[in-house]
Structure 1
């Protein structure tokens, strides 16, 4: 931290300590933010409604204020003002938190919106890049590619912010080839609970660096990510097979999934060049992925083995089957749901984002192959209980391949980062929602709880976990700490949290330290 930053931090801290003696928490916060000229908004601001609207409209919280940071110093001032005025803090990178934790996860927190921190700069000498904390994933793709045709692995929604995504894993259809988004990190600039602006890396503030890569919401606010990138491929294979005909009955579904899992674990055909998963809906079953090889090899060697023993994929009008060779940016756009690569570009200013849903989601990480009994329970539940979910409610189940032969996701361990589920084969997202303009159907929550149970109860010896980017607000803090971090990682995280944030400035209902301090 340089001298000017240190001086700024000390002045703000001294000022707030002076006024917090006689001011209420909210009045203290407003006076501090105003005096330090930190861009901030309160409930009487015309922009308030757009700034606080969450992605998940099921979970609405009212912050104490929103800081729209233009630089790391604004983040630092916001953290110091909140800490000394006894107000909790959460960062908002894209605002896509499933549990609305980017709104604080409760009323009365300070939200620090990073949307204005939205630049990407590639070092042409070594191909590394600096990505600011508020950049959305579609813009990451667009800006990396524009600066030397660079690329990195990350998720499949272009409007997600990089901050929460990369620091809690960040799976995408390039991850078996390049690792998770988190695995691209080589250093970070972070604001800690004492307001300091620090650099963390494998050789500088190593414990904080380790903790941020898996649990940043509890440790600090990252303003810059230093990442490795790859040269984007000129071409790759985008593929989707519409295998809805496997749903004709449960035995056919189970036999088909057994064949699919056998392919996933076969090193003769499955290597790091293939990342894929399945989508199950009430009357839909799709296999979808990327192959970093030629269309000829895919069509003549890989696909015949993948489809062996399965009903033929549906083709023609109304079928989703689509196999083609595409450019890198085309592949990203297609997985985002676009045909036009220009659609990658996403809103960059605070309050501009206007895509929302009304939903609940649960996740599972599965380290063992699914058994025939678990597959049977999975498809039976989908066919019977899934059929009872009627409009305006809907549901889907997405299962992605993490592990298997040659995966670059599970080559790391708990010494590498605080991200837990390196040994997973499958990672599951079960998701239920209601159409816009409707009240959430509370029956969807037990529906998803039981859906997860249907996948786990026939595999009682398996150590299931959960994926933090599909955060589940129905968990207790104790359950979340075990599922997202486990008994090996969590104690080290807790020790770091108690050292760098003993007052729990960075808080949400499932944060590291909740229930332990």
Structure 2
């Protein structure tokens, strides 16, 4: 199978069968490879004009808005930004970059924490932000999502169209391309698993050893000769193997032809609660007990099938200069006794303390989609594209030891540093996520019960050193016993690739002897390298922390 140029390769015209035919061929035709074939739309398709490719160069008034992402620390100065609208246009853009020897990067949603997309070495940015169609592919019996769609686009389309969803993240403006490829998770993951646990297929523009760009479809079918490429996109991270132009989602075990039965059914209603714990009423023993209570609850309720798997809670430990610690909790309002479950949870977190939480949002039943919109848009710091940021992460298998909590308290209450947007967020994990084997997907951390996100946000470039320094000092002291990073052991389990951290390959910050690749991928890294060797042998798709070719 080969590409046919000049035809509309993706968008809504595909409802009639262009990519469905390509994917159907991979699944049903014995012995066929997975190179996607463009085919003309039939008369049943809507006459939607294809999106034309646009090239933006320096001097264009759009240019300055297209050379940085959500973290304004990272800025590029490319010769061109290629705004693509179809898979065929992506193939052409990649081919031109390879032919002319230009260093390229790929933008989906623009939320990469590090410089993987925007850095001074990049000469061409391929921008997928106009490729955001979401539709049901009847031939494949799976939901297709283009690589530039944002999470809110996906949630809105899937739920309004078919009453289904994927268990993705809370931040509405994150792009689906990077979120899924890194093993995305969210408030529904404790009951429904990671996004990649529902990934059926992926379409990727790759470059072969001869330098030829082509679109390839890979599925999770055991007999698919390209299955390794699908597997690599279940947690291997973005920017490693090619340009992801489309995902297809169908839950394992889904049968029949009714789209409403092919993916996760979200709860009809969610019970949402947001409380604050004033720093003025928190001393070190109180802080220690609150944080330890959170860890203990999740350790006790983190197994697959836990009766409390339907409850997820994000507890943000802001620096004292903020004035508060804030805990957000959401649970299925249709489960038995949700209000009493919520009261029991809050009581478990505050047990042994005298602190009285302040209700920022009283316990409130909301339609599920409304709750997603509320939670995804209620924290402007997380989606403000003018801020600079530093980020680090940890998977936690068990509750905190005393030394970790002491280090958290020390740095969150430092008087020589004041930033109300410096924080450590504890995030619910585990449940259904942990029912999957470590090597079944590239997402290897399948025994953790909660996660940690260390981060600081600020506006002024001149303040970079103090804010980055604070995050580094805190992180390094928490994990002082394991070389300044959370190595995989009985307590911690490495780092989340979607919260990338360039310091993991910094010998001054990571003295553990454990490489960054093991912290992200554990035992799956060598297999990811083999996939890299097969699908990107020329290392076209690379960044400062990309999968390396085998030595």
| TM-score over 0.5 (shorter chain) | yes
Local SS of the residue matching 2:292: helix
Task: Tell me if structure 1 keeps the 8 A contact 2:267–2:333.
Answer: no
Q: Which aligned pairs between 1:252-263 and structure 2 lie closer than 5 A?
A: 252-263=286-297
38-47 vs 357-366, which moves further = 38-47
Q: Is it true that 1:390 corresponds to 2:408 in the alignment?
A: no
Q: Distance in 1 between matches of 2:93 and 2:133?
A: 21
Q: Which aligned pairs between 1:447-486 and structure 2 lie closer than 5 A?
A: 447-457=470-480, 462-476=491-505, 479-486=515-522
Task: Tell me if structure 1 keeps the 8 A contact 2:412–2:423.
Answer: no
Deviations 1:224-252 (A, max 9, x none): 11113222322121122323369621111
Of 409, 412, 428 in structure 2, the residue corresponding to residue 379 of structure 1 is 409
Q: Is it true that 1:418 corresponds to 2:442 in the alignment?
A: yes
Task: Tell me if structure 1 keeps the 8 A contact 2:74–2:115.
Answer: yes
Aligned to 2:545: 510
Unmatched 5+ stretches in structure 1: 10-36, 344-352
Q: For residues 255 and 180 of structure 1, do their structure 2 counterparts lie closer, same or farther at Cα, with a shift above 3 Å needed? A: same
Aligned to 1:90: 105
Q: For residues 221 and 237 of structure 1, do their structure 2 counterparts lie closer, same or farther at Cα, with a shift above 3 Å needed? A: same
How far has the Cα of 1:114 moved from its partner? Answer: 0.5
- CA RMSD, 1 decimal: 3.0
Task: Tell me if structure 1 keeps the 8 A contact 2:93–2:126.
Answer: yes
Aligned to 1:27: none
How far has the Cα of 1:183 moved from its partner? Answer: 2.0
Is the helix fraction higher in 1 or 2? 1
Q: Distance in 2 between matches of 1:236 and 1:390?
A: 35
Q: Is it true that 1:496 corresponds to 2:528 in the alignment?
A: no
Local SS of the residue matching 1:97: coil
Q: For residues 492 and 169 of structure 1, do their structure 2 counterparts lie closer, same or farther at Cα, with a shift above 3 Å needed? A: same
How far has the Cα of 1:81 moved from its partner? Answer: 1.5
Task: Tell me if structure 1 keeps the 8 A contact 2:169–2:187.
Answer: yes
Aligned to 1:311: 354
Local SS of the residue matching 2:235: helix
Task: Tell me if structure 1 keeps the 8 A contact 2:333–2:365.
Answer: no
Q: For residues 66 and 172 of structure 1, do their structure 2 counterparts lie closer, same or farther at Cα, with a shift above 3 Å needed? A: same
409-418 vs 495-504, which moves further = 409-418
Q: Is it true that 1:189 corresponds to 2:223 in the alignment?
A: no
Q: Distance in 1 between matches of 2:308 and 2:207?
A: 43
Q: Distance in 2 between matches of 1:61 and 1:474?
A: 20
Q: Is it true that 1:439 corresponds to 2:469 in the alignment?
A: no
Aligned to 2:249: 227
Q: Under a length normalisation based on structure 2, what TM-score does the superposition of the two structures give?
A: 0.77
Aligned to 1:350: none
Deviations 1:423-481 (A, max 9, x none): 2222111111213x553431222211121123323578545411111111333288431
How far has the Cα of 1:164 moved from its partner? Answer: 0.6
Q: For residues 127 and 334 of structure 1, do their structure 2 counterparts lie closer, same or farther at Cα, with a shift above 3 Å needed? A: farther
Q: Distance in 2 between matches of 1:378 and 1:422?
A: 25
Q: Distance in 2 between matches of 1:420 and 1:295?
A: 30
How far has the Cα of 1:121 moved from its partner? Answer: 0.6
Task: Tell me if structure 1 keeps the 8 A contact 2:281–2:355.
Answer: no
255-264 vs 206-215, which moves further = 255-264
Aligned to 2:61: 46
Q: Distance in 2 between matches of 1:237 and 1:377?
A: 33
Q: For residues 327 and 128 of structure 1, do their structure 2 counterparts lie closer, same or farther at Cα, with a shift above 3 Å needed? A: farther
How far has the Cα of 1:327 moved from its partner? Answer: 0.6
Q: Distance in 1 between matches of 2:267 and 2:345?
A: 24
Deviations 1:58-98 (A, max 9, x none): 12121232111110011111111112222232211111111
Q: Distance in 1 between matches of 2:143 and 2:493?
A: 35
Q: Distance in 2 between matches of 1:208 and 1:148?
A: 29
Q: Which aligned pairs between 1:24-63 and structure 2 lie closer than 5 A?
A: 39-63=54-78
Deviations 1:369-399 (A, max 9, x none): 212332222223312x3x33235x7411111
Of 180, 184, 187 in structure 2, the residue corresponding to residue 166 of structure 1 is 180
Aligned to 2:271: 237
Q: For residues 306 and 264 of structure 1, do their structure 2 counterparts lie closer, same or farther at Cα, with a shift above 3 Å needed? A: farther
Aligned residues: 465
Aligned to 1:330: 370
Task: Tell me if structure 1 keeps the 8 A contact 2:317–2:425.
Answer: yes
Deviations 1:239-279 (A, max 9, x none): 22323369621111112222333322335975321121210
Unmatched 5+ stretches in structure 2: 10-51, 251-262, 484-488, 507-513
490-499 vs 40-49, which moves further = 40-49
